[in-house]
Every structure is written in C-alpha cells, then in structure tokens.
Structure 1
Amino acid sequence: MTLIRLPENILALAAVCLTSLMFGLEISSVPTVLSTIEKVLNADFSQIQWIMNAYTLACTTVLMATGALADRFGRKRVYLASIVLFGLTSLGCGLAQSAPVLIASRFLQGIAGGAMLICQVAVLSHQFPEGRERSKAFGAWGIIFGIGLGFGPIIGGLIVAVANWQWVFLVHAPVAIVALALVLAGVQESRDPNAQQLDVPGILTLSVSCFGLVYFITQGADLGYSSPAALSIVAATVFSFMAFIFVEKRSGRPMFDFSVFRIRSFSGALFGSIGMNFSYWPFMIYLPIYFQGALGYTSVTAGLALLAYTVPTLIVPPVAERLALRFDARRVIPLGMFTIGLGFLLMMFGARAEHASWLTMLPGCLLCGTGLGLTNTPVTNTAMGSVSPDRAGMASGIDMSARLISLAVNIALMGLILLEGVHAYLTRALSGFPDASSLRLLAAQIAGGNIGHLPQSGAGIATVDPNGVIANAALVDGFGFVMLYGAIGAWAFALLSVAVFDAGARAHRRAPAVDNGVRRPSP
C-alpha cells in the first residue's frame, strides 16, 4: 500500500509535519526576538532566561505523562487537545503585556508543545506501522522538524522586521487551526489496551528537582548562595531527586527503568544526547545576544548570521548516517561532539578578533552545526536500536527527557557564566564604581545585550564609558567564557561517550557467543 492509495495518511502526515514545524519554530525563532522583548516588556536578564526555560521545563514535565495518557484515552484525542492548547497559549504569549505573564504563558505553551511532540511520534507509529512508507513518513517528519529549527532564527528576525515580536507567537494560532482540520480528517484514533498507569510520583519528583536546580542557578546570586532560602532550595532539590530514584526503583512499572543504563550502546548514545544539549542548543539562546549586543546587528541580520549555525544541521545528517554505517555510530557520535567543541573554540577566537564580525564567527558556527548534524541522527538511531521494541517508548522518553533537562539546566548555567564573566570584567575595569549592587545590575543589562540603554540605569556609567566601549568589551569577555564552557562540555561528553562505547565493545568481545539462547564457544 502506498501513500497515494491512502489519502488519509497523506493528511495525517501533513498534520504531523505542520505541528513539528510549529514546535521547531517555537524553539529557534524566539531567541532572535529576546532582546526586543527585553526592551519592550522591561524584562531583566533572569526573566529573559525564564522565557526560554519555562517552555523547556514544561516540555520535560509532560513527556512521559503524555505517552501514558494518549495510550489510555486515545492518541488522536490527546493530539487534538495539545494542538488546541498550543494555539491558545501562543495567543496568550503574543498578547502578554509583562514578562511574568509571558513566562507563565510560555510554561503552558511548553506543556502543549511537549504533548504535541510525543503525539506526533505515536500517530506516525500507528498510521505507518511498517515498511518503506513508515521510513518515508518519519523521514519527512524529521526534515520538516529540522527546517523549523534551522530557519527559525531568520523567520523570527523577519517577523520582527515586518510586524512586531508578538507575531512570533501569534502566527501559531491560525496554523493550529489548519493542523486541527488535518488531524480531524486524516488521523486514525488508536489506544493501547494494556496502557500503563501514570507514574505520578516519578513525574512530580523529577519535575521538582529540575525546577529547583534551574531556580537555584538563575536566582542564587539574588538570594545569596549561602542564604537560608538558597540552601533550602538546594536541600529540596536533592531530596526530590533522591525521592525520584527511590520511587522509580520501587515501582513495578517505572517511568525511568534504570536497567537500560546497563546497555552500553544506549548509555553511550545518551551521553551524545546530553552533550548536544549541554553546548549547542542552549548557546543558540545566547548567540543572538552576541550578534545584536556586541556586533550591533539588527534582528534580521542576526537571524541571517545564525543560519551558519543552524543550516548545517539539515545538510549533514545524511552524511552522518553513511559514516555511521561505515565506521559505526560509536565513532561518529564522539566525533560529532568533538566537532561541536572545536566550533565553540573557533567562535571564541572569532568573537575576540580585533575586527569581529559574522565572518570571524563563520568557521566556528559552521563547525558547531556540522557537529550537531553528525551527532543527532546516530544518537537517536543507536539509542532506539539498543533496546527491544517493547521498551522503545520508555527509552525514547528517557532520551528526550535527558535532552530537555540538559537544555534547561545549561540555559541557566550559560546565563550564569555570561553574567559572572561580564561582572568580573566590569569589576576590574570600573574599580572606582561606587555601588556594588548597581554594578551587578549593570552587568545583567549588558549580559542581556542591552548596551544602548545603559545610561538610563547605569549609576554613573555614562560618565566613565560614554561610548559603551567598556560595556561592549565586558560582553565579549563574558561570551568568551561561555564559549570556552561549551567547548569543554562538548569534549567532556565526547570522552565519556568513547569510554562507555569502548567498555561495551570490550564486554561484547569477551562475552561467549549465544545461539538460540544456548551458550556456545566463541570462534
């Protein structure tokens, strides 16, 4: 049977591709408008981080729950509900008049986005159960999702240039209506008669521990890292994570089956998933700040410059698949992360060049995108191919959760490193600055790329730095630390991946051969 003879499958595939485009755009288009949002809504640097992190944390929270709900109550029904919620929350984001309202709307939008993402996979798996058509369907879904991620920055920049920042969110409302029509017309309803109960304790404890960690990273400086409030947050985070491990190990049907970590190929691939989201994806949130704040580019120019960072992720995956077939994924995955790290190092040198521009950043951006393209597809294929089909859903949930948790934590960590790097530079350059609290506020404004508005709240900065030379140098210096962190992180996870993969290969060579479950001597 072909897609042409099954028009409902064409409509279902169109619905899945359209919603994957929405999800991809919502991740990659928003960073290019953060500086605009910061100015229009008078948001501080911490709130800018939460505009991104609220979405990511919410996605992580619902990933495992959505799969169980869709299996029990119907995948089409949950898919429709997630699209409706995504459209409504996108309207809420576009109509927000303050940063707290936008953050709350982004959290709700993240819940809808995470549910929508899981339903996409479930719908494709049911609608295209096997054979060549299944491969085509998942291939089309991956391409469209990649297009949303790859071209989101320039689309976001163009929307701001032609209309205003609100339409980066509002545009999803009419698209959601079209997606609803396609789902109603083409998606078949399906359920799992053996669906599992929701792992509520696991979901709650994991969510609290992730939120607590991110909150401590982003708000620790304001609270005081050794203050009773900060220490209470740390204690609650550690306790929640320990409780998560306890309830998952005691559960008969755990959300996270820790036994899969004994599968070396799965664990090696998982380090690749974490490595990508430790470096490449969180830095995408901050790179537009460098282009607009340090280099003075408009949102459109910044979006165009970001294409060098994102477009290779669309071009390289077919090459990565061929390399994985020829040299094995356990070599290609660490190679990809090493390439990402090398790209970060080149970006650091490019940012600190005497006449820095998008051209000095180009080699590093291209290498980072190439590294992600080399890593992403082999990671997914290896992780899913390492476990039995009946555990694929759980393994996919672990992989996706690891990615999103790593992304959320490192959005916060990169922001902290950037802020502290800028603050350290200002402390050295403005040793006579009268007010330490004003200096930290100034550092937060610079870290957000808001250099042009510094005289309004800079407590005397206009007199010592009227042309913004010190502020610009502080921003570049702070970004240097962030890029170095990205390089070290990518290389560290590359080494961990190599170690785990090699340990698995050695164990496989030592293990006696098995034929039909009967141990036999190795040749």
Structure 2
Amino acid sequence: MSTTTPSSRPAAAPDAASVTPAASPRPHATTTEAPHTRPGPDRPPRTTDSRTRLVLAVLLVAQFMLAVDFSILNVALPAIGDGLGFSLGNLQWIATSFALSAAGFTLIFGRIGDLVGRKRIFLGSLALLGLASLVGGLATSPAVLLAARVAQGLATAAATPAGLSLLTTSFPEGPLRQKALGLNGALMSAGFTAGAVLGGVLTELLSWRWAFFINVPVAAAVLLIAPSVIEESRPAERPKLDVPGALSVTLGLLGLVYGLTQAGEHGWTDPLALTGLVAGAVLLAGFHAVERRVAEPLVPPAVLRRRNVAWGNVLGLVAFLTETSLVYLLTLYLQKVLGFSALQAGVSFGVLGLGTVVGGLLAPRVIAKTSTRSALIVGGLVQAAFTAVLLLLGTAAGPAMALLLPATFLGGVGNMLVIVGFMVTATSDLPNHEQGLATGLATMSQQIGITMGTPIMSAVVTAIGTSATTGILPAVKTAIAVNAGLALAAALTAALVFRRRTPRNP
C-alpha cells in the first residue's frame, strides 16, 4: 500500500482490479487511536465482536437516515406548498436548497474531518441535522423551512464522508471492509428508495411535518450511543487547509449543481442554467490549477492519478445518477400514465429497495470470489439490461406492474453490485490518513450523481416534449433508453479501464 504524502512524488497509479480484496493494510501509524483498537500489519483491529457490531450498527443507521433525507420530501412537496404558501415556481427550492449544500460542501467537510477528527465532525453534524429537522418540522414560513433544508444539507455534507471514513478505518482492507461497505451501500441506496415510500406514508397518514420530525429521535439515539463506542480517527500531523482549493471546488460544485437543477426545470437553453454550468466548469478548472501549485492541496494530484480513485468515482457517479433518476422517471410513468397516487407510486418502489438490499448483501461475496472488476462489469450489464426491459412498458396497469416490479428488483441488484464495487475500488490501496479524502471524493460522487440524475432526465423529457396526442410515455421511454445506455457505457468502461483481474481469494 502506498504511503505517498501530498508533497512527494507519486507512485505508479494502481488499477482497481489489481487491488486484492484480501490484501493486508499497513499499520495505521498516521492516525491517533485508542491502544486496544490499533491494528497490526496483518490482523484486524482488536475489538470484541459485539463492539464491532455496535460500531457498524451505529454508523449504518446514521448513513441510512442521511440517505432517506434525499427523497423523503419529494412526494410531500405539494402538501408543503399548500401548507406554507410556496408558489409553484419556488417549490423546487425545497429540494434544490438541500441538494446544493449537500453536494457542494462534501469534499471540504471530508477534508476537515481528516484534520480535526472524523468522530468530532460526525457527532457535530448529526446534532445539526437533528436540530435542523426539528426547526423544519415546526416551520411556519417558506424562509424558515428553506433555512432548515440548507442546514440539513450542510449536516449531510459533513456527516456522510465522516461516517464513511470511520467505517473504512474501523475495518482493514479485505473481506471485513467489503462486507461493511456492502451493507453501507445497500442501506444508502435502499434509504433513497425508502425515503419516497416513507414520505408518502407520513404525508398521507399524519402530516408532511413528520418527514422532518422522524430524524430527531434517530439522531438523538445515535448521539447517545456513538460517543462511547466509536474511537476518534485523525492524522497525527495536521496539514494546513487549502483555502483557495476549498473555495474554488465548493463554488464550482455549487455552480454545476445549480445549473443542472435549472436545466431540469427550464431546459438546457435557460440563461441561469447556462450561467451556472459555465461558472461551475470555470471554477473547477481553476481548482485543478490551484491543486497543482499549492504545497498542501485539498486533493493531492497524486491521489487523482490513481486509476482506482479516478475511474472508481466516475463509475460511482454514473451508478447513482442512473438509479435515482430512474425513480423519477418511473414516478412520472406511474402517476401520469397509470394514474397512481403518490402513496401508491412510493410503495411500488419498495421492490426496487429490496433489490438494492439483496445486491448489497451479494456484492461482497461476488468480489471475494472474483474481483471488484467483475462486480462493476456484471452489475452494470445487469442494470442496463433490466432498465432496457422497461422500454416495453405500456398503458395497461396490470401487465405494466408485472413487468416493472421484477425488472426494478433485478436492476436494483445490478446497481448495488456497481455501487459496492465503486466504494471498495475508490477507497482501496490508500493510507489511513487519506481515507477522509477518499471517502469525501466517493461521497461527493454519490451526492452529485443523486443531484444530477433527476435534472438530466427531466431535461431529456422536456426536450422530447409531450402533447395531448402522444402523452408523456414516449418522452419517458426516451429518457429510460438514455438511462440504460449510461449504465451500459459504465460497464464497458470498467471492462476497458481495469484490465487486470484480481486473483481469487483463497
């Protein structure tokens, strides 16, 4: 495993397929840990089984809650608009304000966790999430609710990479970490789907306010248990924070996400969409130039030159973009074509959520018996195939659901193979002091993928157009075809980029 520092000459970039799942990590000499949890070169951390399971449970519950927040308000937006007086044009900002802050600040918060302590950032951000959720549930005006959504997004941007870093540093590279990442990936993806179901149920039976309130007891429970079971993890030496890099990447991501959301709402020719996209691209190009010159960069170029990190994150971004945007497209289909209610549409996605859970449990076994490369390729092909099957959907509800439910289940299994393969790939073969950076990049890819997917597919639907004669179905099918094509392209990319196979585990 490389121990290259940001200022030293990088080693040759390893490829993800050459990272043996059972490889043993070096001693974690760069982190401050309690003596009883310090791992040796060839053995896992010395923790009791019950303590390890408790740490895993706490982190997974928190990550699941964070994933739920991405989608729990989607079906509640009309009810919120009616209750607080949002105009139709401003209603999108309930989702956009969260997405902007969650995606834009992920990388910088991941790096701050490396510097000041991941446990500290994790606990602080969960406290902020609980407080923001309480304020959002009690909001009596649009301004208060939007402020609460921004705070929720900032808390998510800090808690997600910190929690994932604590997860990767709690388990050595190999089967234990793969199993933990598989469970994490399954719950993260299932959380997005469960959010749609839960949001519909809570809004229908109680009130949209409970879509906020539900976070409060969960965050409180994690904050009560986590301090006594999770060990602090941070570098022994704290480098300076790269302020120019942090500002340029954060503003660049904000511009990019804003431009995409505006494009999804108003089309690709909208002036605000074009301004956001161009400004984001310029700022991200500036970030790349800054990172090549500063002494202690936010994202060392040597890390991005690693094939497993760079291409792993590209594949992860596509995996999240395609599956979460497919939920949006099928929501349009179920409600606009088949006439389902919001609650019926949300419940229909429970099968997709079950598929992601099965895929998350299956992925570590596939990786252990074959390789991360196989998981990325096979998962992408399965996802692409069963997404393409949805092109056969028609206007009759019975035959449509007989096709949609098994296709989304199997597509969810394939998508989760890719997501777990991406998580293992993008966080492997890195020293412990760079895990916060690696998980920050992985989390950023995940959240940008979730944020980009719906606007991109919405823009495709808008570009195709609908009319009273043809209806919305042809536009939805065109977007589904684009979705399947992206999944197929990702699988072929994995096959080409990661050419060397990982030896089978003994």
Residue among 463, 466, 480 paired with 1:425: 466
Deviation at 1:179, TM superposition (A): 2.1
Residue among 207, 212, 222 paired with 2:250: 207
Q: Tell me the equivalent position of 1:20.
A: 63
Residue among 311, 335, 345 paired with 1:302: 345
2:97 equivalent to 1:62: no
**TM-score, structure 1 as length reference:** 0.75
Conserved 8 A contact 1:275-1:489: yes
Q: Tell me the equivalent position of 2:492.
A: 495
Conserved 8 A contact 1:68-1:197: no
SS of the equivalent of 2:298 reads coil
- Deviation per residue, 1:124-164 (Å, 9 max, x gap): 45666799987876676566556534533332232223211
Q: 1:89 to 1:419 in 2, by over 3 A?
A: farther
Q: Tell me the equivalent position of 1:461.
A: none
Alignment size in residue pairs? 457
Work out the CA distance in 2 between the residues paired with 1:145 and 1:229.
32
Q: 1:321 to 1:42 in 2, by over 3 A?
A: same
Q: Tell me the equivalent position of 1:236.
A: 279
Q: 1:223 to 1:316 in 2, by over 3 A?
A: closer
Q: Tell me the equivalent position of 1:152.
A: 195
Work out the CA distance in 1 between the residues paired with 2:190 and 2:148.
25
Conserved 8 A contact 1:288-1:306: no
Work out the CA distance in 1 between the residues paired with 2:267 and 2:200.
37
Conserved 8 A contact 1:223-1:229: no
SS of the equivalent of 1:282 reads helix
Q: Tell me the equivalent position of 2:23.
A: none
- Superposed counterparts of 1:364-513, under 5 Å: 364-421=407-464, 424-426=465-467, 429=468, 474-502=471-499, 505=500
Q: 1:88 to 1:15 in 2, by over 3 A?
A: same
Q: 1:185 to 1:225 in 2, by over 3 A?
A: closer
Work out the CA distance in 1 between the residues paired with 2:292 and 2:153.
28
Q: 1:234 to 1:161 in 2, by over 3 A?
A: closer
Work out the CA distance in 2 between the residues paired with 1:388 and 1:74.
16
Q: Tell me the equivalent position of 2:76.
A: 33
Letter of the structure 2 residue corresponding to residue 212 of structure 1: G
Q: Tell me the equivalent position of 1:197.
A: 240
Work out the CA distance in 2 between the residues paired with 1:265 and 1:203.
23
Conserved 8 A contact 2:186-2:359: no
**Greater relative contact order (CA < 8 Å, ≥ 6 in sequence):** 2
Q: Tell me the equivalent position of 2:127.
A: 84
Conserved 8 A contact 1:3-1:133: no
Q: Tell me the equivalent position of 1:447.
A: none
Deviation at 1:167, TM superposition (A): 0.6
2:229 equivalent to 1:168: no
Q: 1:288 to 1:164 in 2, by over 3 A?
A: farther
Q: 1:351 to 1:91 in 2, by over 3 A?
A: farther
Q: 1:59 to 1:198 in 2, by over 3 A?
A: farther
Work out the CA distance in 1 between the residues paired with 2:331 and 2:179.
34
Q: 1:200 to 1:380 in 2, by over 3 A?
A: same
Letter of the structure 2 residue corresponding to residue 489 of structure 1: L
- Deviation per residue, 1:195-217 (Å, 9 max, x gap): 23223322322222233233334
Deviation at 1:182, TM superposition (A): 1.6
Q: Tell me the equivalent position of 2:41.
A: none
Deviation at 1:479, TM superposition (A): 1.8
Deviation at 1:317, TM superposition (A): 2.9
More divergent stretch after superposition (362-371 vs 226-235)? 226-235
SS of the equivalent of 1:243 reads helix
Runs of at least 5 residues in structure 1 that lack an aligned partner in the other structure? 430-469, 509-523
Deviation at 1:26, TM superposition (A): 1.5
Work out the CA distance in 1 between the residues paired with 2:271 and 2:204.
46
Conserved 8 A contact 2:185-2:360: no
Work out the CA distance in 2 between the residues paired with 1:414 and 1:97.
33
Q: Tell me the equivalent position of 2:48.
A: 3
Work out the CA distance in 1 between the residues paired with 2:245 and 2:373.
31
Q: Tell me the equivalent position of 2:153.
A: 110
Work out the CA distance in 2 between the residues paired with 1:155 and 1:381.
29
Question: Which structure has the larger Rg?
Answer: 1
Q: 1:337 to 1:50 in 2, by over 3 A?
A: farther
Conserved 8 A contact 2:337-2:395: no
**TM-score, structure 2 as length reference:** 0.78
Letter of the structure 2 residue corresponding to residue 484 of structure 1: A
Q: 1:333 to 1:169 in 2, by over 3 A?
A: same
Q: Tell me the equivalent position of 1:255.
A: 298
Runs of at least 5 residues in structure 2 that lack an aligned partner in the other structure? 1-45
- Deviation per residue, 1:278-325 (Å, 9 max, x gap): 311233345334323432223332222101222111112343333334
Q: Tell me the equivalent position of 2:378.
A: 335
Conserved 8 A contact 2:351-2:409: yes
- Deviation per residue, 1:390-448 (Å, 9 max, x gap): 54432332222222223322222122223333xx222xx4xxxxxxxxxxxxxxxxxxx
More helix by share: 1
Q: Tell me the equivalent position of 1:520.
A: none
Conserved 8 A contact 1:352-1:480: no
